[in-house]
Chains A and B, each alone.
Chain A
Amino acid sequence: MNQILKFKLDGVECMGYKDQYITNAAAENGFYIPTLCNIPGVKPRGACRICNVRVNGKLMTACTTPLANGMVIECQTEELKDLRKAIIELMLTEGNHFCPSCEKSGNCELQALAYRFNITVPRFKYQFPERDIEASHPKLIKDHNRCILCKRCIRVIKDEQGRNIFAFGKRGNRITINIDTELANDISDENARMAYEICPVGAILLRENAFREPIGKRKFDHVPIGIEMERFHK
């Protein structure tokens, strides 16, 4: 049995285990710490910083920080709420997010966080960058306009021999995440679907799959993201 640790989250006494990440421990105690790049059970990457919390006063990403005994964690302070909101607004303006025509709308985690944070208009200027759509693969479409570089696809989707189907193209601020053309030709149906599902936004699309669910039946039409984890919230 793992060693039990005590910590405080927004003033509430909580318990967790040694080697548990803060996000998971928080969820088990009934708190939702917003995440975006993180996938429970997969090695965290700390790519988006939505999960920013203050640990003993210091800004840390909750998805990559293991619990320690006596930690004092702040999550829902005005400062942190605004910081998270600002990150979502940056993502919405940095790429091209035309939600009304997006196949992932209603099931998109970026959009769902924007809803949860009550964003009606971003504070930043829309950039409208020039981005490509890779539409030549047999089962998948990669839309760079919507990719938020969370690297979920790189971390999760591998072929039978463990090779990465998604990989970095370019570097620095021109960075893209591309599909390996050869491996994409042989991708299994199961892996293709998983890639579509693992992508939090509409950047990986499964062919012949768009707009299957009517408005009103989609994941975030009626309930905010994260609500299933919450016993204490707001």
Chain B
Amino acid sequence: MEKKVVATSSLAGCFGCHMSLLDIDERILELIELVEFDKSPVNDVKKFSRRVDIGLIEGGCCNEENVHVLKEFRAQCKVLVSVGECAIMGGLQAIRNTIPLKECLDEAYLNGPSVKGCNEESIIPNDEELPVILNKVYPCHEIVKIDYHLPGCPPSADLIWNALRALVLDEKMEMPYELVKYD
């Protein structure tokens, strides 16, 4: 059987979902029999070399680079999966969605207890090299079409494993009650 090709990325996430993927322990040996990785932090490949079968997205979109990467994944992946709460609903970063962006930036760079009085020129980083921060943190499915969602913070290794296996082998995915959780 030809190996399926997988790509992964962490947008506005904490890499916890990727860590959870590594938590499949010795099943990783089985995984590399089944799939090859293209663009992914797992193998440190930075660019897509071809169109891939399965894309796993961790994290939501908090800046324009996240949006760019997400759109690229949508264009390159036959199946795109939101992995984890941040991809699904923005995650804890989205707590800022209830506060105006300017207020958040002022607090982070000008008024917060750890910066107050230290930022004499009142600089809020805006170098053109930096991706522009979005007004809000967006769940991935509000930016592009997402085919499947794996909840959890992070989703358990077993859930990610079940999903990958089902997608690779074209089987129905098992989602036992104990594995589908939001925390």
Q: Which residues of A does B touch, CB under 8 Å?
A: 96, 98-102, 105-106, 111, 114-115, 118, 120-121, 125-126, 128-131, 145, 215, 221-224
In the complex formed, the residue of A with least CB distance to B84 is A100
Query: Is B142 in contact with chain A by the CB < 8 A criterion?
Result: yes
Q: Does B122 contact A (CB under 8 A)?
A: no
Query: Is there a chain A Cβ closer than 8 Å to B25's Cβ?
Result: no
Q: How far is the CA of A102 from the CA of B82 in the complex (A)?
A: 21
Beta-carbon nearest neighbor of A116 in chain B? B177
Measured CA separation A121–B91 after assembly (Å): 13
Shortest CB distance A213–B (Å): 12
Q: How far is the CA of A114 from the CA of B99 in the complex (A)?
A: 27
Inter-chain contact A126/B177, CB cutoff 8 Å: no
- On whether the beta carbons of B136 and A100 are closer than 8 Å, the reply is no
Q: Flag if B141 contacts A100 (CB, 8 Å).
A: no
B141, A126: Cβ atoms under 8 Å?
no
Find out whether the CB atom of A118 lies under 8 angstroms from the CB atom of B180: yes
Residues of A within 8 A of B119 (CB): none
Known: A96-B98, A115-B177, A126-B139. A121 touches B82 (CB 8 A): yes
In the complex, A222→B178 CA distance in Å? 5
Q: Which residue of A lies closest to B181 (CB)?
A: A115
B11 within 8 A of A: no
Flag if A118 contacts B175 (CB, 8 Å). Answer: yes
* Docked complex Cα distance between A126 and B86 (Å): 13
Given contacts A120-B149, A126-B89, A215-B183, contact A98 B142 (CB under 8 A): no
Complex interface: chain A residues within 8 A of B58 (CB): none
Q: Are A98 and B98 in contact (CB under 8 A)?
A: no
Bits for B76-95, please: 1 = Cβ < 8 Å to A, else 0.
00000010010011111011
Cα separation A101 to B99 with both chains bound (whole Å): 18
Dominant secondary structure of chain B at its interface with chain A: mixed
Which of the residues A99, A115, A128 comes within 8 Å of B136, measured between beta carbons? A128
| Alpha-carbon gap, A102 to B175, bound state (A) | 23
Q: Give the nearest-CB partner of B153 in chain A.
A: A100
Residue-wise interface mask of B (145-165) relative to A, using a CB-CB cutoff of 8 A (1 in contact, 0 not): 010111101000000000000
Q: Take A99-B153, A105-B183 as given contacts and tell me if A125 and B92 are in contact as well, using a CB distance cutoff of 8 Å.
A: no
A129 close to B98 (CB less than 8 A): yes
Chain B residues positioned under 8 Å from A224 (CB to CB):
177
Checking B90, B149, B183 against A99 with a beta-carbon cut-off of 8 angstroms, the contacting residue is B183
Within 8 A of A (CB), among B29-62: none
Report Cα–Cα, A104/B124, bound state, in Å: 36
Contact of A111 among B89, B146, B175, B182 (CB under 8 A): B182
Q: Which residue among B82, B88, B139, B177 has the maximum number of chain A CB atoms within 10 Å of its CB?
A: B177
Instruction: Give A222's nearest chain B residue, CB to CB.
Output: B178
- Residues from chain B with a CB closer than 8 A to the CB of A129 are 98
Residue of A100, A105, A111 contacting most chain B CB atoms (<10 Å)? A100
Candidate in B94, B150, B181, B183 with the most chain A CB atoms within 10 angstroms: B183
A120 touches B98 (CB 8 A): no
**What 4 new A-B contacts, CB under 8 Å, besides A98-B92, A118-B180?**
A121-B139, A121-B146, A129-B98, A145-B98
Chain A to chain B contacts (Cβ below 8 Å), 20 pairs: A96-B95, A96-B98, A98-B92, A98-B95, A99-B85, A99-B182, A99-B183, A100-B85, A101-B92, A111-B182, A115-B181, A121-B146, A126-B89, A126-B94, A126-B139, A128-B98, A128-B136, A130-B98, A131-B98, A145-B98
B98: A residues at CB distance < 8 A: 96, 128-131, 145
A103 to B: closest C-beta gap in Å: 11
Tell me the smallest distance from the CB of B99 to a CB of chain A, in Å: 8
- When the two chains form their complex, are residues B180 and A121 in contact, meaning their CB atoms are under 8 A apart? no
